[in-house]
Amino acid sequence: MSSYRGRFAPSPTGPLHLGSLVAAMASYLDARVHQGQWLVRIEDLDFDRNVQGADTAILHTLQRCGMHWDEDIVWQSQRTEFYQTALQTLATHVFPCGCSRKEIADSRVRAGLQDQQIYPGTCRHGLASGKPARSYRLRVPDGDAAVFEFEDRFLGRQIQNLATEVGDFVLKRADGFWAYQLAVVVDDALQDITHIVRGSDLLDSTARQIYLQKLLGLPAPAYLHLPVVLSTNGEKLSKQTGAVGFDWGDNDLLKEALLPAADFLELHLARHPIDIPDFWNLASEMWQHKLSEKKGHDIS
């Protein structure tokens, strides 16, 4: 059996919509054409954004769409001891930060960095006296060591300077929630994920994740970032727009969800599928074709 292990990692903030279906479909097809495993992980660490029942609704829709996962589903909210252990492992690189969002914004203005999203380094060398810790941040390297490069299977070579483009980033948030960046790296490694296929909205997070993998001594998976589905007014789709109906029949799922998602991925199916299993056979052929077209970039 192939050693390929891929995953789809939705946040349960609403029902599956066209944008998240595209990520699910591409990760599923990629696992399928590599004869690999496909896992689903529910990223439910942001208790303020979780919507009750959204996880089961997403899983139900995946199943109805014919996307069947291997192995048991994992919920990040049940795995916090792993994130705590990783934070301890990283202790020498971590510092407590006492800044509120407003203080960070004000410091940026003072440092002339107001147009950037980077952390201005306020608490890097210690908390001001009497200031309580709010969050925990990872110190990013300086100089050449801050430059991270990786080869995206679709987008080619990517480069980001963590010091000048990101700054020291949060691993544990002021509200006590574990940050996405830490949890995703820990779980991808614990689940032996070899290939990550997801939307380009997360491209900007990848260098941070590669740095965390390096510090934790974890292997780096291969990355493929997909175009992000935008609404007609050019914004990223929210979970409420373009939602896939919970009770849709197979025909609606095909016509209103699977075929539009495949179109978005520019999978030009050889013919109209007769049913959902037929759709997956046709779409797999086209995904394979798409990969071989990219062969020049060494993406397989």
Q: Does 228 bind ligand GLU (CB under 6 A)?
A: no
- Tell me the site size for ligand GLU, rule CB under 6 A: 7
Among 202, 207, 222, 257, binds ligand GLU (CB under 6 A): 202
Q: Does 198 bind ligand GLU (CB under 6 A)?
A: yes
Tell me the β-bridge partners of 147.
Answer: 161
Which range of residues in 9-17, 62-70, 233-241, 251-259 is near ligand GLU by CB under 6 A?
9-17
Judge whether 138 and 150 are in contact, CB under 8 Å. no
- Measured from the CB atom, the residue of 9 and 244 that comes closer to ligand GLU is 9
Judge whether 285 and 39 are in contact, CB under 8 Å. no
Which range of residues in 3-11, 47-55, 67-75, 109-117 is near ligand GLU by CB under 6 A?
3-11
Q: How far apart are the C-alpha atoms of 11 and 48, rounded to whole Å?
A: 12
User: Scanning residues 157 to 196, which ones bind ligand GLU (CB under 6 A)?
Assistant: 184
Judge whether 16 and 244 are in contact, CB under 8 Å. yes
Tell which residue, 194, 197, 195, 151, has the closest CA to residue 298. Answer: 151
Q: How far apart are the C-alpha atoms of 45 and 177, rounded to whole Å?
A: 6
The 43-72 contact track toward ligand GLU, x by CB under 6 A, reads x-----------------------------
Which range of residues in 7-15, 104-112, 131-139, 223-231 is near ligand GLU by CB under 6 A?
7-15
Tell me the one-letter amino acid at 88: Q
Kindly state the DSSP code that residue 116 receives in the 8-state scheme. S
- Measured from the CB atom, the residue of 43 and 168 that comes closer to ligand GLU is 43
Q: Does 30 bind ligand GLU (CB under 6 A)?
A: no
Among 6, 10, 14, 167, binds ligand GLU (CB under 6 A): 10
Q: What is the residue whose two structure tokens read 């409420």?
A: 240
Tell me the one-letter amino acid at 23: A
DSSP run (H or E) holding 184: helix 180-190
Q: Nearest 5°: phi and psi at 135?
A: -125, 175
Quote the least distance from Cβ 269 to ligand GLU, whole Å.
26
Residues that bind ligand GLU (CB under 6 A): 9-11, 43, 184, 198, 202
